[in-house]
Structure 1
Amino acid sequence: MTKYSASPLSGKGSPVPTIFLRACAAASILCAASSLSSSPVPTTDSGSAAVQLRELQPLIDNDSLKVPELLLGSDACAVRVLSGVLLYRRDPDAYRNALFAELVIDDYAERSAGKYNDVDKDEAIAAMDAASVAPEGISDQRIQMVLGFCALRDKNLWMKTPDGSRLSLARFFRGAALASLLTGTDEDAVAITSAIDAHTARSHAPPDS
């Protein structure tokens, strides 16, 4: 199992990576695009994932409540990510590897081949709206962001920003979800996601000649 070091992933003094600056530059567009309203349109999903998300929802703002560790083995990405973040909030050292493995976006092979699925602003709005639809009984916007990340993590969708660079929709959802779910802790969501991406990119680096 991949081991992630604690040292570069915590604290508030880490440099802000370019992707985060690009996200800030595009924030006015994407915040409107995501339209994560306080009254999300629910799906009529009565499956196990929906049940598990409803079980986790009241635990988000109460660290004294126990998070079922078995949910890390759920078949649903959103359940694994959400339970992983909540367990990590309570015990970072014990759940670092489990959580960070779920936050990987492995698009580096496609990107190294020059493959990006570029979308314009309207397409980004539609993709983010569709990705963040929550099951019935889920009203927390933070869960919607987790759902959005899971839905888009393998899509390699990018939106052009005003400066001509690209913003990954999956990374936007991941960063927003993680930052909101770790509010009130000393954990730095930007440093965490930056370190995960750096580790993933290194796994695709060509061998030294």
Structure 2
Amino acid sequence: MTLGQRLKHLRLRRKYSMQELSDELNKMFPNEDGVKLFGKGKISKWESGNVDPSVSAIAKVAKFFNVSLDYLLGLEEENTHFPVVEVPILKNVTRDKEMYSPENIIGQYYIPNNLKISHQKLAYLKLSNKRMVLINFDDVVENDEMGLFFLKGYETAEIRKVQYVNEYLMLVPTHSEDHKPEIYESKDIKCIGKVISTIDYSNADNDFLA
């Protein structure tokens, strides 16, 4: 079953017309600038397969129908997995700013609910090179893993790969030629969270960063 066929199946099972479904989706996911994200014509194109929805739109529809992304995409015949949940996207993490303040949340992204460790302890951090990293703020960074650190001399938290060298820590930049590995004593750094995954959205629809 294709995405369009699955969407039509779910819509008809709820006894919605295309207009009614678009109205319900817009109620559940209002846009701050007042522009409606969903319309009858858009849903018609999705169901017919003429246009593929963005990742953000697919995730919203899956959440609305309380189904998994794989089920909505037609990759599974039964909705055996948990639906998706929203995770905030943070502009940055600084020493003097509340991470979850409204001005620091620049959007929402989505993960399967069965991967959710603690909704209050997860967030995406937007990087400058068209990447986002998913941070678990309640996990320990082990050797050769990536983490988010407050470093001596930096006001903004930085992503680094950690290597433990006796009583010291060597922090290795992940995607920057401007920084070389640096050695720190544990007292000079603070680990904030562990990097779980990375998303490259350089060639993707960016409407989740609205």
Report the TM-score when normalising by structure 2: 0.22
Report the TM-score when normalising by structure 1: 0.22
Please identify which structure carries the higher helix content.
Answer: 1
Instruction: From the CA coordinates, give the structure whose radius of gyration is larger.
Output: 2
